[in-house]
Structure 1
Amino acid sequence: MVLTVTATTQKAGMPDVADPSRVAPKDARELSKLFFEQLEVLEEGTEEYSYARSTLIEMNMTLVRFAAGRFRSRNPEEMEDIVQVGMIGLIKAIDRFELSRQTEFTSFAIPYIVGEIKRFFRDTTWAVHVPRRLQEARGQLARATEELGSRLGRTPTDKELSELMSLPEDEVREARLAANGYNSSSLDATINSSQDGETVLQDFIGAEDEAFELVEDFHALAPLIAELDDRDRQIIHLRFVEELTQAQIGARLGVSQMHVSRLLSRCLARLREELLASD
């Protein structure tokens, strides 16, 4: 550990730590007491106060890495995010710690750090949003299933789980269903690899929805239909919206079915021609 003295730290009565992030945990505990003593007497917003606070944060980063290590198995790819979230807990602990508590800062800070990390997992790792009570019930359900499974030597029933969890059976079933939303798989996830290439998940569950093409056609037809005269628009509406037969349309308009057929064919031919020309 390297300590130096600068005008700022000398004035505030604090040691100047050259690289706070490399201070050993044992030394950090002793130095933290000195810096907390200064935080209590320094005015917030001053250069000395900012130095003491930032040094405390850097010196105690090992607490964050220690706490984050407990969650390494949850998702190793998120370790950087977990550490960043843990830092928020550390900062909250530093801002709220008081020496008068007669408690080690380490014991005070760990619950803050772990709490922030757990909140991160609770709020951000569900693939599908479910109510908070079901998120919490998922963990309880997993523990109860493991306990009863080892005790009974088989998969426990919903009734057995509800008795152990002190929850109604319908809530146990709801929690089991909600647990399916915890993880998700990418549509590009590889299912099988061979010489012919890779088979991905979307090859099995994906399908082309023809309705999308209809939506596009409707949008393209709308301005063309608007250009028709009132009678032609009425015929189109009666045939394709009200789904009347040509005979019913003729009776409604007072013309023959044959005349309706000619008018309808002419309208459709015009719309088809204009639609193809716009592509």
Structure 2
Amino acid sequence: MAVRAAGSKHSHDDALDTSAEFRRIAALPDGPEKEALRQEVVRAWMPMAERLAGQFRNRGEAPEDLEQVAMLGLVKAVRRYDPERGSAFASYAVPTIVGEIKRHFRDHMWGLHVPRRVQELRNRVRTAVRELTNSADDRSPSVGVIAHHTGMSEEDVLLGMEALESFRTLSLDAELPGADDGYSLADTLGAAEPAYERVIQRESLKPRLRALPDREREILYLRFFCDETQSRIADRFGISQMHVSRLISRTCERLGEQVGAKAA
């Protein structure tokens, strides 16, 4: 069916002349015949899609997965291409396929949501480092060298370099380098400190405790700060233990309502 386009204006060695097939696709109504012809065109352009996928190798994604994403972009390009616009199919298909691959990296390969601008800075820095490093023995180029090479500001270079190390998240169960006995990142994290909440509660209670009647304030002090029993407190004030119990309950309930109302 398709042959390589003679005198093609684009630089793709695997560019094919499928203009006749696309004209037939445009003329056919929706149905099995039209779909079969589309699939035939897709198969003819698969080598180009595979080549474009290969340009994104060594970026943390399996080559087979990249080729599948490229094929998806090719299918979309075949379905959306309009020969009446006058441009060659390759001119439309290449940015469509490359865009599909880039979206795959943006949407599926990052462990955290990263703004598109930061992702683009990362890609520019990564490309510049590869271009400026001629051999494995070369030292990594400095921030200033990368900025001069790319025309980026040093701040953007630093941001892109930080993103180079943020492509994937690190599990909290990951063992720390050089750690013994399986010491993991989770072991370095702190826990919630309940004392902070107690400080807030105490500071909220202070003015309300000072506003209590002397007897109620002293009863609470003896019970909760001196650890006195209710019977000993009752003997001290010459009242029943039941009366002490009711005073403590009512006072604590009232204080709780006052503090809760302020917090709300």
TM-score range, shorter chain: 0.5 to 0.7
- Equivalent in the alignment of 1:253: 212
Residues 49 and 67 of structure 2 are in contact (CA less than 8 Å); yes or no, is this contact kept in structure 1?
yes
Q: Confirm or deny that 1:180 pairs with 2:165.
A: yes
- Offset of residue 93 of structure 1: 1.9
| Alpha carbons of structure 1 residues 169 and 241: separation in structure 2 relative to 1, 3 Å | same
Rounded to whole Å, the distance in 1 between the matches of 2:183 and 2:94 is 43
**1:34-79, Cα deviation, whole Å (9 max, x unpaired):** 5423212112x23432332244335544443443334343235473
| Alpha carbons of structure 1 residues 109 and 125: separation in structure 2 relative to 1, 3 Å | same
Rounded to whole Å, the distance in 2 between the matches of 1:146 and 1:66 is 20
Alignment match of 1:85 (pick from 57, 69, 73): 69
Q: Confirm or deny that 1:36 pairs with 2:19.
A: no
Stretches of structure 1 lacking an aligned partner (at least 5 in a row) = 2-25, 219-235, 272-279
Q: Confirm or deny that 1:125 pairs with 2:109.
A: yes
Residues 68 and 79 of structure 1 are in contact (CA less than 8 Å); yes or no, is this contact kept in structure 2?
no
Residues 128 and 146 of structure 2 are in contact (CA less than 8 Å); yes or no, is this contact kept in structure 1?
yes
Q: Confirm or deny that 1:165 pairs with 2:124.
A: no
- Offset of residue 145 of structure 1: 3.6
Alignment match of 2:97 (pick from 109, 113, 120): 113
Residues 25 and 38 of structure 2 are in contact (CA less than 8 Å); yes or no, is this contact kept in structure 1?
yes
**1:189-214, Cα deviation, whole Å (9 max, x unpaired):** 45689xx9x73643554x35144xx5
Residues 249 and 260 of structure 1 are in contact (CA less than 8 Å); yes or no, is this contact kept in structure 2?
no
User: Which structure carries more helix by proportion?
Assistant: 1
Q: Confirm or deny that 1:57 pairs with 2:45.
A: no
Stretches of structure 2 lacking an aligned partner (at least 5 in a row) = 2-13, 228-247, 254-264
Rounded to whole Å, the distance in 1 between the matches of 2:174 and 2:164 is 21
Tell me the TM-score normalised to structure 2 length: 0.59
Q: Report the AA paired with residue 161 of structure 2.
A: R
| Alpha carbons of structure 1 residues 200 and 61: separation in structure 2 relative to 1, 3 Å | farther
Root mean square deviation, CA, Å: 4.4
Rounded to whole Å, the distance in 1 between the matches of 2:134 and 2:48 is 35
- Equivalent in the alignment of 1:202: 185
- Offset of residue 132 of structure 1: 1.9
Tell me the TM-score normalised to structure 1 length: 0.56
**1:105-163, Cα deviation, whole Å (9 max, x unpaired):** 56653442233112321343233333222211222223334445559x65444333333
List structure 1 segments (4+ residues) > 6 angstroms apart after TM superposition: none
Identity %: 26
